[in-house]
Each structure stands twice: as C-alpha cells, then as structure tokens.
Amino acid sequence: MHAERIVENLNRAHHELFGRDPAVCLIGEDLLDPYGGAFKVSRDLSTRFPERVLSAPISECAFTGMACGMALAGEKPIVEIMFGDFIGYAFDPLWNLAAKSVSMYGRRVPVHLLVRCTVGGNRGFGATHSQSPQKHFLGIPDLELFEVNPFHDNVELLGELIDRGNPVLLFENKTLYSRHRIQDDDLDDLFSWRFIGPRQEFAQIYIEEPESPDAVIIAPGSVVFPALEAARRAFLDHEMETVILTPAQLHPFPLAPILDDLARAKRILVIEEGIAGGSWAESVATAIYSHLWGRLENPVICLHSKTSIIPCARHLEERVLLQSGHVFEALIGESVRA
C-alpha cells in the first residue's frame, strides 16, 4: 500500500488541527466544497467546519490583513495563497503588520498566523503562476519560513507552526501535491533516510552510513528529487557518495544539527528552484562560511534556476528551471577532473 499523497497529508493536517483547536480557521480563495481549494488542500473542511472556513473574494492584501487582525484577537488563522505569485499583494500586511506586531510594541505579542502558499514551476503555467518567491521574505524579523517536503509529516508540522507565536510562511511546491509521502526507511534500492536534529529539523538521505561523504546537498522541498537523481547517477557512474539534507525550516536556517555532516563533506551544494541574487541558498552558504571557514575543502556551490522569467512552453521552461543534470554536473565537477 502506498503512503498518503502529500496533498492528502496536508488536508488531514488541517482536519486534525481544526478538530483539536477551536481557534484555528482558514481564509483564502475558492475554499468551499465541493471545490475545496484550487489544489484541494481544504477538501471537506468547509463541510465539517463551516464557521471557520472563509472563502474570500479575490482580495489577497485585505484578507491577509484580516488574518493579522484575527491573530491579534487570539484566533489562529491559516491563510491560503492560491499561487505564491500573488503573495506580492500580501507582502505589506505580512512584513509591516504581522511580523512587526510581534516585537514593535516593546513587549512580545504572540501572532499565531500561518500563511500557506503554493509555489514553483514545471507545470507550464507561465511567468505569473510558477515562481518561487521565498527569497523575498528572507530576514524579516519574527517572520519564519518553512517548506513542505516529502519526509516531514505535515500533521505535526502544521500543529507546531500555528502555535509558534510568530507568523510563519509555509511554501508548498505544486509538483509535490500529487506525490506520495516517503515513510519507509529505505527510500529505494540505494538510499535510506532518517530524521536528524533534536527536533527532527532535517531528513538525512544517504547511501551508506555517512562517514565522510564526497558531497552533501542541502535540498529543500521538491528539489530533493533532482538531488536524488543526481546523487544516484554520481554513485553509479563515479562511485560518489552523496548525503542529501532536506530541512523543513528555511529561515532562520537551523545549521547546528548538520554542522558535523557539512564539516566532513568534501563538497557542499545548496540548491533551490528560486533564482540567485539575495537568495535562500546564498544565505545558507553565508552561514556555512561563517561557521566552517578554514575547514571547508571547496567553496560552497549554490545552484538556482536561471535568472529569468519562467516561460510557458515546456521546452523553454525546462531550460530555465533547475534540473537534475545541473546538480549532477556540479556534483562531479572538479572531483572527476582532478
């Protein structure tokens, strides 16, 4: 029997949260049954909890602002942004209201607000429906960023996020929804995985017990798949041993649990679907340098999608978005030439 699909897991996470905590509510577009949200994450929720599901007009700025007010009233709103590309409209209430409210008044004000937002390309939706906006939210005091991946259970994750007292943005790559969660210890014939860190901050995917891996790839969200493909090829073609580390939390980035892995690695890659220039991967690389300077064998390699808009046609989109081939080339790069 297959594990649950990620969209089903997210949906169950909402149901459990709503069942457990009467302060939890959901606001966003097209949430009502039978539609249940553009990507079906809210399926059956409006039927079970009609009072707590607000299917809003197309007013991202105002309904995100409303969610801030709901949080200040002691509610625990979840906001669904149908496509992350539209979160620009919600930038002000998140940046200047929700995040600021936590600490702007001289004493801590808890803001229980979770904004979920669908991101990413590979679906042929074109330039305004495919972007990865994570980097635009980096480094805002008291705003925390997470990303859904195939390993972490969203039932636990959502429960934790809504109770943090800080506003949280959760990114959901749309290519993940239909994928199955990965639960068995053995990922396939080659890879095994386990959680590491005191709070299971990372999924660690490895071929054999990682002693001193040839490479470590830090790969959040959906880019774990190109990372896996590249790592498999690098092993089969070049006997390279790669460890993949998939964080649930993007920012602030929890570096401590993986410092040992990183210090032993001959090569470190940080990869993402977003584009370079004040990016998430660059911020992680900077953190790695400041902790491991002098112990690194090679410069940290950041891999992004091409600095470009995301075109619609499949053959053009592939040319722009990060592919496993890029990861593979970076993995073998100098080690093969050397």
Partner 1 sequence: MHILHGSAQRISVVPPVVPIAAPESAEADIEALFLIRGFERLLLDLFSRGVLNGTTHTCLGQEYIPVALSPLFEAPDFIFSNHRGHGHYLARFGDVEGLLLEIMGRAGGVCNGVGGSQHLFRDGFLSTGVLGESVPAAAGMAWSLKRRGGRGIAVAYTGDGGWGEGSVYETLNMASLWRLPLLVVVENNAMAQSSHAEQYRAGTIEDRAHAFGVRALRIGGCDLAEIRNLVGPEIAAMRERPRPLVIEFATQRLGPHSKGDDPRSPELVAELWRRDWEAPLRERHPALCERTAARVGARLEELRATALQKPLSEWTDAR
Ligand X SMILES: Cc1ncc(C[n+]2csc(CCOP(=O)(O)OP(=O)(O)O)c2C)c(N)n1
Residues that bind ligand X (CB under 6 A): 29, 58, 60, 82, 86
**Binding to partner 1 (CB under 8 A): which residues in 80-139?**
85-86, 88-89, 123-129
Q: Minimum distance between the CB of residue 67 and ligand X, rounded to whole angstroms?
A: 16
Q: How far apart are CA 200 and CA 327, in angstroms?
A: 25
Structure tokens that stand for 108 in this block: 């801590």
- Which listed range, 69-77, 183-191, 257-265, 316-324, lies at the site for partner 1 (CB under 8 A)? 316-324
Other residues' Cβ atoms within 10 Å of the Cβ of residue 37: 27
Q: Does 32 bind partner 1 (CB under 8 A)?
A: yes
CB contact at 8 A, 114 and 170: yes
Q: Does 319 bind partner 1 (CB under 8 A)?
A: yes
Q: Cβ closer to ligand X: 126 or 333?
A: 126
Q: How far apart are CA 119 and CA 132, in angstroms?
A: 5
Q: Does 311 bind partner 1 (CB under 8 A)?
A: yes
Q: Does 69 bind partner 1 (CB under 8 A)?
A: no
Contacts of 106 (CB under 8 A, 6+ apart): none
Q: Minimum distance between the CB of residue 99 and partner 1, rounded to whole angstroms?
A: 21
Q: How far apart are CA 116 and CA 118, in angstroms?
A: 7
Sign of CA dihedral 278, 283, 285, 286: positive
Total residues at the site for partner 1 (CB under 8 A)? Answer: 37
Residue 256 contact, options partner 1, ligand X, none, Cβ 5-8 Å cut-off depending on partner type: none
Site string for partner 1, 33-52 (x = CB under 8 A): -xx--x--------------
Q: Does 256 bind partner 1 (CB under 8 A)?
A: no
Q: Minimum distance between the CB of residue 62 and partner 1, rounded to whole angstroms?
A: 6
Please report which residue ranges of the chain form alpha helices under DSSP H. Answer: 6-20, 45-48, 60-72, 91-92, 99-103, 154-162, 224-238, 259-264, 280-292, 314-320, 324-337
CB contact at 8 A, 126 and 151: no
Q: Minimum distance between the CB of residue 53 and ligand X, rounded to whole angstroms?
A: 16
Q: Does 178 bind partner 1 (CB under 8 A)?
A: no
Strands (E), 75-220: 76-81, 114-119, 144-147, 168-173, 192-196, 202-206, 215-218
Overall residue count recorded for the chain in this entry: 338
- Which listed range, 10-18, 178-186, 233-241, 300-308, lies at the site for partner 1 (CB under 8 A)? 300-308
Q: How far apart are CA 193 and CA 210, in angstroms?
A: 11
Residue 59 contact, options ligand X, partner 1, none, Cβ 5-8 Å cut-off depending on partner type: partner 1
Q: Cβ closer to partner 1: 82 or 265?
A: 82
In 3D space, the residue among 248, 148, 252, 255 whose CA is nearest the CA of residue 202 turns out to be 248
DSSP annotation of 59 reads -
Residue 315 contact, options ligand X, partner 1, none, Cβ 5-8 Å cut-off depending on partner type: partner 1
Q: Cβ closer to ligand X: 36 or 247?
A: 36
- In the list 306, 325, 334, 336, the residue contacting partner 1 (rule: CB under 8 A) is 306
Q: Minimum distance between the CB of residue 221 and partner 1, rounded to whole angstroms?
A: 21
Contacts of 320 (CB under 8 A, 6+ apart): 121, 305, 306, 308, 309, 310, 311
Residue 233 contact, options partner 1, ligand X, none, Cβ 5-8 Å cut-off depending on partner type: none
Q: Minimum distance between the CB of residue 28 and ligand X, rounded to whole angstroms?
A: 10
Q: Minimum distance between the CB of residue 308 and partner 1, rounded to whole angstroms?
A: 5
Q: Does 276 bind partner 1 (CB under 8 A)?
A: no
Binding positions for partner 1, rule: CB under 8 A:
29-30, 32, 34-35, 38, 55-62, 85-86, 88-89, 123-129, 306-309, 311-316, 319-320
